[in-house]
Amino acid sequence: MPLTIQENIALLNMMSSDNLEDDLKSVQLHSPSERRLQSDGACVEERVRTSRGDILVAVRGDRKKPALITYHDLGLNYASNFQAFFNFVEMRPVLEKFCVYHINAPGQEEGAPPLPEDYTYPSMDALASQIDFVLGHFGIRSFIGFGVGAGANILARYANGSPQKVNALVLINCTSTQAGWTEWLYQKINTRQLRSSGMTQSAVDYLMWHHFGRSTDDRNHDLAQVYKECFNQVNPINLAMFIDAFLRRSDLGISRDNNTIKVPVLNVTGALSPHVDDTVTFNGRLDPAKTSWLSISDCGMVLEEQPSKVAEAVRLFLQGEGYCR
């Protein structure tokens, strides 16, 4: 007997339901990939001997290509500061043109043991001078510098003293002045806690503010949690030494009219970063003909929150300097 229209519709609905159930059964559920701020194995790590002890340098790419040297910020190392950004798809045109050398400040690498009690941590000038040992170890004549925060200050120092060895700089949240009283007091409290009690909540809160500015959890709760966990993996005693070195930094001693940095600079910050004013001051001390200042909206930690915009800016900047064509 022929089926009625209503029976046909019911049958079709049953078939659709059965097919849907079959389709759903065939779908394999996958847990979301865990975000990792540890080394992913893309780099070859080497120890480089310097006058102030060995430092870890991670190398990625063909060593016959032009060199790009990175230097990380406080509370981070090469993997946690740069790995995710350099793995970003829009950074591939840059990676294809360069060999990347990631410098780690003494004792800041993954799994670093506490530095000896009698170890005198290098000053910011001494950290900058260690770059010469890296260049000699790998046979690098000149390089592009890419630094964040404290690392940006170190690379700026080196470029100011050895402009013939630096082709250009990409600097994020770079400060060019001495630490103010507020920064000095806050940092002193945190370094004492790091030495006596390890990574306290107060120290974590400070590092989150230093990297992201305020209201990070409201902008990206997951990213904030990842970095809070990351900071708890840092050797607190070694970090306290690095922070102290940054706190004791001298003024770069540059001005637009006298003794300014002679190489092209891409000066970057995030609009929500606590270091915007520092980058503005730094920008005012650079040669305007060789400097580009970029403030990226809706972020504090630009490499993590706006990687696409930063990658595009870096690519265009390097194209203007004759690279990445």
Q: Are 315 and 94 in contact (CB under 8 A)?
A: yes
Give the predicted TM-score (pTM) of the model. 0.87
pLDDT tens, residue by residue, 167-192? 999 999 999 999 988 888 888 888 99
pLDDT at 12 over 50: no
- What percent of the chain clears pLDDT 90, i.e. is strictly above it? 74
- What percent of the chain clears pLDDT 70, i.e. is strictly above it? 87
Q: Are 141 and 128 in contact (CB under 8 A)?
A: no
Mean pLDDT of 30-39: 46
**What is the reported pLDDT for 302?**
96
Q: Are 149 and 222 in contact (CB under 8 A)?
A: no
Mean pLDDT of 47-51: 96
Q: Are 285 and 254 in contact (CB under 8 A)?
A: yes
144: helix, coil or strand? strand
- Per-residue DSSP letters for 197-247? HSS-HHHHHHHHHHHH-S-HHHH-HHHHHHHHHHHTTS-HHHHHHHHHHHH
Q: Are 84 and 37 in contact (CB under 8 A)?
A: yes
Question: What is the C-alpha to C-alpha distance for residues 68 and 80, in angstroms, rounded to an integer?
Answer: 18
Instruction: Kindly report the average pLDDT of the chain as a whole number.
Output: 88
What's the pLDDT band for 211 if we cut at 50, 70, 90?
Answer: very high
Angle between helices 124-138 and 150-161 (to 10 degrees): 70
Buried b (16+ CB within 10 A) or exposed e, 290-314: ebbbbbbeebbbbbbbbbebbbebb
pLDDT at 234 over 60: yes
pLDDT tens, residue by residue, 72-105? 999 999 999 999 999 999 999 999 999 999 999 9
**CB contact set of 278 (below 8 Å; sequence gap of 6+):** 173, 174, 175, 176, 177, 269
**What is the reported pLDDT for 185?**
84
Question: What is the C-alpha to C-alpha distance for residues 195 and 309, in angstroms, rounded to an integer?
Answer: 38
pLDDT tens, residue by residue, 96-152? 999 999 999 999 998 899 999 889 999 999 999 999 999 999 999 999 999 999 999
Question: What is the C-alpha to C-alpha distance for residues 231 and 36, in angstroms, rounded to an integer?
Answer: 13
From 121-125, 150-154, 218-222, 272-276, the region with the lowest mean pLDDT: 218-222
- Joined tokens for residue 214: 């305020």
**What is the reported pLDDT for 55?**
96
Mean pLDDT of 270-283: 96
Q: Are 243 and 207 in contact (CB under 8 A)?
A: no
